[in-house]
Structure formats: C-alpha cells, structure tokens
Chain A
C-alpha cells in the first residue's frame, strides 16, 4: 500500500483553487475484530462530524489494497475550506513497521494525533508502532471476558513515556462515580468515617471498573494490599474488598462503603440508568439524593479523552495500585 495514492485521492477531492484546511486533530482508529468495524466506524464518523479532523480508519480485519477517501468542505467569502477528511483503508496484511510508516505519511503534520485502539492486545507490536505517533491513546480495558488480562497488559506497558498518553475509557467511566462518592465525605461529620471504613463492595458489569475503583480508593486513602481480597489502612486495620459482576458490561451498578456505624451507598436509580442515588444509612442517616450520571456513553468518553490535556496523577497512582492488586490476585 502506498500512502501517496491515498493522499492523491484526497487532493483530488479538494479540487481546484485556493483551499484552506482547518483540521486540528488526526484521529487514527485501528480495528481488527470484524464484528466491531461498524460500531467503531459510526463513532469515528460522529467525531468527524463534530471536530475539524482527519480520521484514518485502519481496518485490520481485511487485507489488500482497498481504500476510500471522503471530505467535508465549506465555502465562505470565496474561500473553500476543508473541514474534515476521512480515510478508510485495509491494513490486514501489514506488519507493525509498515503500518507505522503508512500512518505517519497520512497524518496532518503538527496537529494533535489521537489513536483509538480496538486491537486484540496491547502487547501487539502494531499498538506500539501507532502509539508512538500519537499524543493521546484511547483504549478500553473494560471487556466482557478479558478484563483482568487487558488491565494486566496495560499495567505492564504503561511506562513513564506511554502512561501520560493513555486515556482508558474504563477509568474515565468512573470519574462521575468518584465525584459522587467523594460527595458523601464533603460533609465534615461524615468525613471522619473515611479512616474507619471496613468494607468496600463494587458491583459492575465488567471487572476493570471494579479494579480501577478499588485502586483509586486505596491510592487516595493510603491502603495497601494485605491479602487476596483485602487492604490494610494506615493503622493496619483490614478493609474487605468485593468486586462482583452484575448488570450491563462496562457499567458500574453500585458502590457500597461500610464504616462501623454507617453504610454509604451510591447506586444506579432503578428507574433511570442515567441517575445515581446516594444514601447514607445508620447513625445520622441522610435523605437520598440523586445526581445525573453524565457523559458515560462511549462517544462522550472519547470526546472527553480527546480534549483532556493529561491523564493526571490520580490515574497514574490508581494504575500503580491496580498493578499491585493484580499481581497479588
């Protein structure tokens, strides 16, 4: 495959005359599972609609030379502006080196480049070749059957260079849950329960969210693993941890924290999957309060991942803790 053929086809689409480009993002999507092709394509198309972007859809489920290009242009005050461009090509026959070099040729230079990885393994050399080209790497370690494996791979490869680029949708899905659970303890009277927590239970449709949530709590509260299903807090007191699969994949259902005198529960509202209701039972119980669970659909998460300026120290610390937990599991 010659990348210049694709670029020539794009130039042809632009046509004659003075043309400007407002493209601000390269979005590289890599898919190998044929069953995911349409699903990923719909999302990259939706992003192309919203962002001034060049999307490069790399279909590794098919080999051969096939490719297609499209673009969206706008006429204004006598100037034709290219707002977005879409490239789709088969890369099933390509090894990592060839794939990296073709992708590099196709990128708009000097703009932010985002990789949306839907390949089989993070240990795949093609992942490394594409990640090297990108400022942001979006992946989803939350998978129906291989959660722990994907997280293990991520924990293994996320070195100092790669980790800041990583935006794991499984972790990003938790951000509103983190905020809502923190909300319990903004109340100074209840904050005193944090060092006294004795048990944590997370129910989620996939394991990755559970590991991330526990990793986050442990990293914030200075807990250390001290057993297969337990942490010890700074005073050496054990905190039992349970992660159960329940409900839809990739969705947290419920988080429960137990202190000696109180139970804190954040749970999806049974009538509305976009609401989380917070309850405190036991001593000094509080009335239930519901809050919207915002932007946890995949498209919104990808958008947020693209705009986030860094993955953040909290993610790095959480991932380190997850690595420790998985090593003991």
Chain B
C-alpha cells in the first residue's frame, strides 16, 4: 500500500504545488516523498539509530524514496565532529543496511547532507545552534522549512527535548512556512500517569496532527495486510463476528532474552513492552469495524472504539484474566541460556515478568462473548508472531470415522518470521473409508508476490515525511491502552509472584498460562 506523492493543497506542503502543475508527473508512479525536508534525530549516537534508523535512511535513499531535497542532523551527547558522525553513519549502514553493497556515489551524495551537533538535552543554549543549522540546511539543500524531529533517545528524555524545542522557537507555531512534525518512539509513558504527563508536555508544543507515535509492528507488511484481508474480500467479513468466531489468539513470542536492555526491561516487563502497544494494536485491527474511509483518522477512530469496548479487568479479577511468567535458565537452539535474574543489569530478585498473557473481551455487538487471548514472552520455544482466529466447531457431525478429530477451522495471519496467511480446514483422506483430516492452505508473501516486504522503519519514516499518520498511534488509543493494562500492572506490582522463575527458557511459557487458556497454539 505504498502511497503516491501527496498532492496536498495544504499551505504547509512546500514544493507540492509545483508538482501539481508539472504535466510530466501525470500517471507516473513514484514512491519518492514529494516534500523537501530535514530530519533531526535526537539520540543519534544510540543503539536504535545505529541498528534501525540510519540504515533505514540509507535504504530509503537507495530506493529513491527520500525527497530530492533532504538533510539529516544528528543531535546527541556523544562528542562527534561532522566528519566523525558521517563515518559513524557509514559504519551503521555498512553493518545493518538491507541494501548491500553500499553504493559509494549515493552514499557520498547522502553524506554531504548529514551533520551533527554535540549537545546536552538539558542545556537550552544547545538548541539555538540546532535552529541555526536547520536554517542553513534549508538554504543549502532546498529543504523547504519542513522539519521532522525524531525522538530516538531514552524515554526519560522525551519531555526535556520537547520543551527545549518549544523554548528554542522550533515549535510548529514558529514555522508557518513549512511543516513541523515529531516522531515519538515507544514506550509512550511507563504507565497511565506518566503517559498523561508526557502527553501534557507534548501538547504544550505540538498539536495531535503533528505527533507521530511509532509502533514499528504497525509498519510490518502482514499487519498492514490485515485490513486488506478483511475489507478487500467478501468471504471473511460475514463470518468475522461472535456468530462464527470462537476465540482469537494473538502471540508475540521471542527466543531472545533481554540482550543489552536489562536495565530498561527490568523496569518495564512484557506487559508494558509488548502487550500495551504492539499486541493491543493487532487486536484493534482484527476487531475494528470497517472505517468510513481509508484515511488515518477514520481508521484510528475505529481502533479507538475497539479499545473503548474493552473493560479493564477489575483488580479482583486480574488473576483470572491474566498470567505472568519469568524465564529460568534453559536451552534454546542447542545453546544454554541464563535465567532472567542472571542477565546483565537485572536485579537478582527481580519480580519483572518476561511473559504476559491476558484474556480480554471486546464488549460490542460484533464480539460480545468472544475471548481474545494475548500473549507475549521472551526466551520462548520459537520466534513467532501471529494472530489465530479459531472458528466454531461444526454443529453436527456427518463425516469422518469415530477415531477422527474434526478440527475447528483456523485462519492464521502470520507476522514473523513467516509473513502470510494460512487457513486450516478439514478434507476427506483419499480412499474407501470416510477418514477426515485437517489440512492447511498457505499463502506466503515471499512466494505469493515474489517480492520482499520493506522493513517497518523504512515505511514508517517515509510515512512521517509524507504526513500519513495511518500507521501511527493516536493519543486517545495510547491512553485507553494504558487504562486497559493498568489494573493488571498495579496488581502484579503489588503482589510478587513467588513462583518466579516459573518457566524454563526454550519452552512455551509458564503453566499459569494454561490455566488462562488450555488451547494455546503450540509455539
């Protein structure tokens, strides 16, 4: 669903009007972002920039998606000269770009548009040079006055940077000649109160339409395909309700542990890190009503309605509607891995969950009574993200021998590592007997279209430059998602789970999860 260059009539869409009068543009499909812009990465010396963002920028350049007039400014504490930062960026690209080998001519063209400001986020005086640099870029590279600020810093720094942008006159209100947008990485707050506090800071400087809260799961091609599956086909929607669906399972399982993120993760846990954002967003896409139109706000309105229809569990119900776990030492792919509590920067008596499962209901006309089972965990048996929609059993058995099991139909939307859709149904085994067996029909993106999906960050960064907010999360949905998980967080925080660690690394999760749902799909 790559969009065409935006033909906006907005006065903020610099350079767009000229395209509208270019007769050579008619009928040409181009993925290039039409608005010139400068992107400022706060936290440009960090891991996210190194592994994801800078490689995505180069890959966008290599795919000719970056606007013709483009600049990049890194802004972080680590001291770098411009030249050193360009060398660092090149290392990031060499190491992590998906487009190898790196084209040296293209890199040189991109590198001349990259510079760096060594800065302390607390120091207001460091934001003045940023403003000056932006103005220089806008003259030198013709980048209009379109500015995309990207918060790739630790979340604790978000409010400071936002406030400093306002103080330095870099807020949208001071930039009427172009657009100003801000991309905020997850997590947006660590709980409901902190999310509201952060939003209060954001609102002082930016309006909602200028804020792009990123959830990179939403940039994955199979996630985007959920709406196409539902609303570009007629066969699914009539059965997409409580009348035919018995349950929905959403799984985001990882084999990795906390890696270098022990300090962050030990204060977060699986519920905050995955369920509150990624997994709930998947639930919304599955459960939402057809939007009135494909624009961002219509879709986000419908997603919000789903969240509104989910009642947060009452504190006394938390243990009936959730399960938590923490991994012990175990073996994954033949390799012995340590217990969570033995990971670097993790407290030895940590009560943080590395596995979380919830049972939720969407209390509306379509979904009343259908359980949505959500689970996410680290150090599980397999890396697997999928949504499984299990349909009702047949009402009356006509076929099959007594020994045969007539299984439910299951539609699986596969997100990773495989990307595609599969459907399980029953078929007669050839032969004189009436044996019935379940078979699976598979569609894989790779083989179905013969093209690889673009990495999520490429899609999301280019969408932010285009001003397309469809794949970004609106504040009302973020707030409601926090409201849904807050009772669980509070109960889990107040009552330690003395069984921790309660699952060995490399297994499907804790036994407690089976009490919540005895029919989890095997990992």
In the complex, chain B residues whose CB is within 8 Å of the CB of A176: 64
- In the complex, the answer to whether A188 meets B21 with C-beta atoms within 8 Å is yes
A19-59: CB near B (< 8 Å → 1, else 0) gives 01010100000000000000000000001001110000000
Minimum CB–CB distance from A166 to chain B (whole Å) comes to 16
- In the complex, the answer to whether A18 meets B441 with C-beta atoms within 8 Å is no
B440-462: CB near A (< 8 Å → 1, else 0) gives 11111011111100000000000
- In the complex, the answer to whether A182 meets B22 with C-beta atoms within 8 Å is yes
- In the complex, the answer to whether A18 meets B429 with C-beta atoms within 8 Å is yes
Q: Can you offer 17 A-B residue contacts whose CB atoms are under 8 A? A: A22-B441, A50-B446, A50-B447, A51-B450, A77-B440, A78-B439, A81-B442, A83-B447, A182-B25, A188-B18, A194-B22, A275-B106, A294-B64, A303-B450, A306-B450, A312-B27, A314-B28
Residue A98, interface by CB 8 Å: no
Specify which of B24, B427, B429 is in contact with A178 (CB 8 Å cutoff): B24
Distance of A78 Cα from B440 Cα, bound (Å)? 8
Distance of A269 Cα from B108 Cα, bound (Å)? 14
Minimum CB–CB distance from B141 to chain A (whole Å) comes to 10
Residue A10, interface by CB 8 Å: no
* Overall SS of chain B's interface: mixed
Minimum CB–CB distance from B4 to chain A (whole Å) comes to 12
In the complex, chain B residues whose CB is within 8 Å of the CB of A24: 448
Minimum CB–CB distance from A180 to chain B (whole Å) comes to 9
Q: Which of A17, A183, A272 has the most CB of B within 10 A?
A: A183
Residue A76, interface by CB 8 Å: yes
Residue B430, interface by CB 8 Å: yes
Q: Identify the A interface with B (CB < 8 A).
A: 16-18, 20, 22, 24, 47, 50-52, 74, 76-79, 81, 83-84, 175-176, 178-179, 181-183, 185-188, 191, 194, 217, 220-221, 269, 271-272, 274-275, 289-292, 294, 303, 306-307, 312-314
Q: A18-B430, A292-B64 are in contact. Are A186 and B441 (CB under 8 A)?
A: no
Closest-by-CB residue of B relative to A178 is B28
Residue B68, interface by CB 8 Å: yes
* Overall SS of chain A's interface: mixed
The 3 closest A-B pairs by CB, nearest first: A50-B450, A314-B27, A188-B18
- In the complex, the answer to whether A22 meets B446 with C-beta atoms within 8 Å is no
- In the complex, the answer to whether B62 meets A292 with C-beta atoms within 8 Å is yes
Q: Identify the B interface with A (CB < 8 A).
A: 15, 17-19, 21-30, 32, 34, 62-64, 68, 103, 105-106, 109, 424, 427, 429-430, 437-444, 446-451
Closest-by-CB residue of A relative to B449 is A307
Q: A79-B439, A291-B64, A292-B62 are in contact. Are A179 and B30 (CB under 8 A)?
A: yes
In the complex, chain A residues whose CB is within 8 Å of the CB of B19: 186
Distance of A77 Cα from B106 Cα, bound (Å)? 46
Minimum CB–CB distance from A145 to chain B (whole Å) comes to 30
Q: A175-B28, A186-B68 are in contact. Are A307 and B21 (CB under 8 A)?
A: no
- In the complex, the answer to whether A179 meets B18 with C-beta atoms within 8 Å is no
Minimum CB–CB distance from A68 to chain B (whole Å) comes to 22
Minimum CB–CB distance from B441 to chain A (whole Å) comes to 5
Closest-by-CB residue of B relative to A269 is B105
- In the complex, the answer to whether B27 meets A186 with C-beta atoms within 8 Å is no
Distance of A20 Cα from B440 Cα, bound (Å)? 8
Specify which of A186, A191, A275 is in contact with B34 (CB 8 Å cutoff): A186
Minimum CB–CB distance from A301 to chain B (whole Å) comes to 13
Specify which of B63, B68, B441 is in contact with A183 (CB 8 Å cutoff): B68
In the complex, chain B residues whose CB is within 8 Å of the CB of A275: 103, 105-106
- In the complex, the answer to whether B451 meets A289 with C-beta atoms within 8 Å is no
In the complex, chain B residues whose CB is within 8 Å of the CB of A74: 442
- In the complex, the answer to whether A191 meets B22 with C-beta atoms within 8 Å is yes
14 additional A-B pairs beyond A294-B64, A313-B27, beta carbons within 8 Å, are: A20-B442, A50-B450, A51-B448, A52-B447, A79-B439, A79-B440, A179-B32, A185-B24, A186-B19, A191-B21, A194-B22, A272-B105, A303-B451, A307-B451
